[in-house]
Amino acid sequence: MKSRRGQFLKNPVAFVCAILIVSCTFIVFISVLRLPEVPMGSFRHKEKRIVNGRDESIGKFGEMVIEMLPEDLPFTVFLPSEKAFERILRLRLNDSLVGEKADDTYAILTRILGFSAVPRTINSVNVPYDQEIDFDSLAGFTLYISRDVDGMLVVNRVRAERLNLQKSRNILVHIMDGVIMDADFEHSVLPDYAEDDRG
């Protein structure tokens, strides 16, 4: 045993390797002890909140749009946020699902589905940064999709708020800060300011 220890100390390469291993282990140990604690609320990732069986990030109108799709086929839906439904389409939960307005609401949601759903899965990580890709929606409306420098998708100049929400095995949802629609439909749902000015 004594002869082996003596050989180890006389071999400079083995001695240096042993010193390096001990030093690196010591540095890693000290570094781990000095890491600051990160509070759980500091992450930017938003949790999905389920309220009464409904995904709050998608909203009631979004849930209604998704329910129109068959679950056995792959789809990607660029869905307006709840605020976008209210701000742009003037759909509010209190008055849009009751009486005669319910039929109009379902007609609008059907059109939104046609403009915003693509019969394939488009995950945001598969969209390249340096180019724009295009796909036809269910209604035949061309969607021009690109990825911003922060990783968010932009579809027909409408920016995403949340990405890659897996609604079912085959349905992927991106929540948009606006409504994707063609010019004719946009003209039919936007307020006519000219009539208001005359009245």
Inside any domain, residue 199? no
Q: Is 162 exposed, middle or buried (0-12, 13-18, 19+ CB in 10 A)?
A: middle
Residues 165 and 68 both lie in one domain: yes
Give me the pLDDT at residue 35, please. Answer: 53
- My answer on whether 20 and 81 are in the same domain is no
Q: 86 and 177 share a domain?
A: yes
Model confidence at 55, in pLDDT bands (50, 70, 90)? Answer: low
Whole-prediction pTM value?
Answer: 0.69
CATH number for the domain harbouring residue 72: 2.30.180.10
Residues 14 and 67 in one domain: no
The domain containing residue 21 runs over which residues? 2-34
Lowest mean pLDDT of 110-114, 120-124, 127-131, name the range.
Answer: 127-131
Q: Is residue 194 part of a domain?
A: no
Quote the mean pLDDT of the chain: 81
Domain contains 44: no
Distances (CA, A) of 30 to 7, 36, 85, 194: 32, 12, 53, 70
Residue 95 shares a structural domain with residue 159: yes
CA distance 21 to 27: 10
Residue 60 in any domain: the answer is: yes
Strongest mean pLDDT among 25-29, 35-39, 126-130:
126-130
Q: For the chain, how many structural domains are there in total?
A: 2
Residue 199 above 50 pLDDT? no
pLDDT for 37 beyond 60: no
Q: Is residue 173 part of a domain?
A: yes
pLDDT digits (tens, 9 = 90+) for 143-187: 999 999 899 999 999 999 999 999 999 999 999 999 999 999 998
Residue 97 domain-assigned (yes or no): yes
Question: Stretch 128-141: mean pLDDT, rounded?
Answer: 94
pLDDT band at 32 (very low <50, low <70, confident <90, very high): low
What's the pLDDT at 129? 87
DSSP β-bridge partners for residue 158? 155
- Residue 36 confidence (pLDDT) above 90: no
Task: Give the model's confidence band at 191: pLDDT under 50 very low, under 70 low, under 90 confident, else very high.
Answer: low
- Say yes or no: 134 and 174 in one domain: yes
Q: pLDDT-derived band of residue 70, with 50, 70 and 90 as boundaries?
A: very high
For residue 60, count CB atoms less than 10 angstroms from its CB and return exposed for 0-12, middle for 13-18, buried for 19 or more.
Answer: middle
Does residue 61 fall inside a structural domain?
yes
Residue 45 within any structural domain of the chain: no
Tell me, yes or no, whether 153 and 127 share the same domain: yes
CA dist., res. 23 & res. 49, Å (int)? 47
Percent of the chain with pLDDT over 70: 75
Q: What is the mean pLDDT of residues 78-82?
A: 96
